Amino acid sequence: MMGQYISRPLLGCVLATSLGLGTGCSHWIELAAPAEAAPPTNATVATDARMPLLLETLRVTHNGSSIAPPALLERQVIGAIEATRLFSQHYQSGHTQPNAGQAHVTMRLSIDNVVEPHAGQAAWRGFVISASMFTLAPFISLNYDYATDMSLEVERWDGQIKRYSAASNGSAHYNLFGANPEVIEQLKGQVTEVCLSSLLNQVIQDSTFYLASKEQPLGSPIRTVSVGVRRPPSRAIPVSQPIVEPSSQ
């Protein structure tokens, strides 16, 4: 008897719960590699020829507005530079500095981020908060687009300068019940990694430009090290697969 008197809003919530169990809180991320990305470059250089590096400036904008570089982003940038193994030591302005008069390479990095959270279906506009919203929520596709443009200026100890640029973008896809801040942070981190890898790969291609010219004494062994960048994620391959749970009987 009680089943005959279930209110319509309650019925909608029950139906939404059943659909949620059937479809799961699905979410996935797609990454687009830089349009003109060069194949990863690796090189072998003499250890004694490597120079110290100073990251002098790290400027970041968010939808055109300047922001303080997040600590996580700073660590990601420094980590990517260190992973190339092109430089002997790594300094960051405001933290540690090369010794006075010490020859070194100086980097100035600008990062412009563009964020666009939007609904994947125009029908979402004008939606009324009611049982129908809960019923259809698992089927409403939402997108979060994130793009990054990076400009890098690298100056040698003798004042010679080279400039590089790279861009990357990606999208997070999820339904209303699959929204998760961790997915957005994962998207930002992956897009940044792809862009950094493309940028530093260009630097590696000019590796000899940043090495000191030193003649090895006769009979002295030459120690070498391999330099290169970490492989970024492949183009447009989901890094978080949709979650599908079996429906309850």
Confidence (pLDDT) at 40: 73
Residue-wise pLDDT tens for the chain (249 aa)? 444 444 444 333 333 333 343 444 466 677 776 655 566 778 888 988 999 999 999 999 999 999 999 999 999 999 999 999 999 999 998 888 888 889 999 999 999 999 887 644 333 444 434 444 445 445 556 778 899 999 999 999 999 999 999 999 998 877 655 556 677 888 899 999 999 999 999 999 999 999 997 544 444 556 888 888 876 554 444 444 443 444 444
Which are the contacts of 192, defined by CB distance < 8 A and separation ≥ 6?
73, 76, 111, 148, 168
Judging by DSSP bridges, how do beta strands 65-67 and 53-62 pair with one another?
A: antiparallel
pLDDT score for 202 = 94
- Domain boundary assignment for the chain: 25-211
Give me the pLDDT at residue 133, please. 47
Q: What does pTM read for this prediction?
A: 0.71
- Determine phi and psi for 171, rounding to 5 degrees: -140, 140
Write out the DSSP string of 59-94.
EEEETTEEEPPPHHHHHHHHHHHHHH--SS-EEETT
Tell how far CA 161 is from the center of its chain.
26
Identify whether the C-beta of residue 53 lies closer than 8 Å to the C-beta of residue 44. no
Q: What are phi and psi of 222, to 5 degrees?
A: -100, 115
CATH of domain 25-211: 3.30.160.150
